[in-house]
Amino acid sequence: MVAETRQTDWIEHVRRIEQERDETAFAELFQHFGPRVKAFLMKSGANETLAEECAQEVMATLWNKAHLFDPSRASVATWIFTVARNRRIDALRKQKRPEPEDLPWGPEAEPDQEEVLALQQDTARLGRALADLPEKQRHLIEKAYFGDLSHTEIAEETGLPLGTIKSRIRLALDRLRHAMR
């Protein structure tokens, strides 16, 4: 009963923020949920600084987007912690994404001639190895790797059993591996 009353109170707080821009209601929500959101973010792996920043952003979202809250879809706590989870994911993505100043500018360096020659030789060896495969195997390898078809799609297209296709492709790949050594 206390939890229900508290939930009704929180819904009323969000309504007051939305309709009246009630700073007192916001302060009470912030005081209650702010530390909990920060703790939640730290438990999910954020350091204290990042957790604090994300918690601030979550509460700013509550202030700016209170009109998006729908009590028929979620509780206030669920809504706030969903926003927190999404902020955490955004922060992780941002950390993994290179900043523009880290991106290389201008023409790429010319590849080492030795590497170019080795790649050309490997390509020629692979071409010869493909040509040396039995026709049935080569045909399936071409469909799978050059035609970008799944084994199931090849089976549908050729009418061959799926097991036969898998076996022939496996044998062909073994032959190609040996030829490329």
Record: fold of 2-97: Rna Polymerase Sigma Factor; Chain: A (1.10.1740)
Give 90-101 pLDDT, tens digit per residue.
887 777 755 555
Does this model's pTM top 0.85? My answer is no
CB 10 within 8 A of CB 29: yes
**pLDDT tens digits along 63-87:** 999 999 988 888 899 999 889 988 8
How does pLDDT run across 156-176, given as a tens digit for each residue?
999 999 999 999 999 999 998
Q: Is 13 exposed, middle or buried (0-12, 13-18, 19+ CB in 10 A)?
A: buried
**Residue indicated by tokens 């080795």:** 118
What are the sequence ranges of the domains in the chain? 2-97, 131-179
Per CATH, which fold does 131-179 belong to? Arc Repressor Mutant, subunit A (1.10.10)
CA-CA distance, 45 to 54, in Å (whole number)?
A: 12
Q: How long is the chain?
A: 181
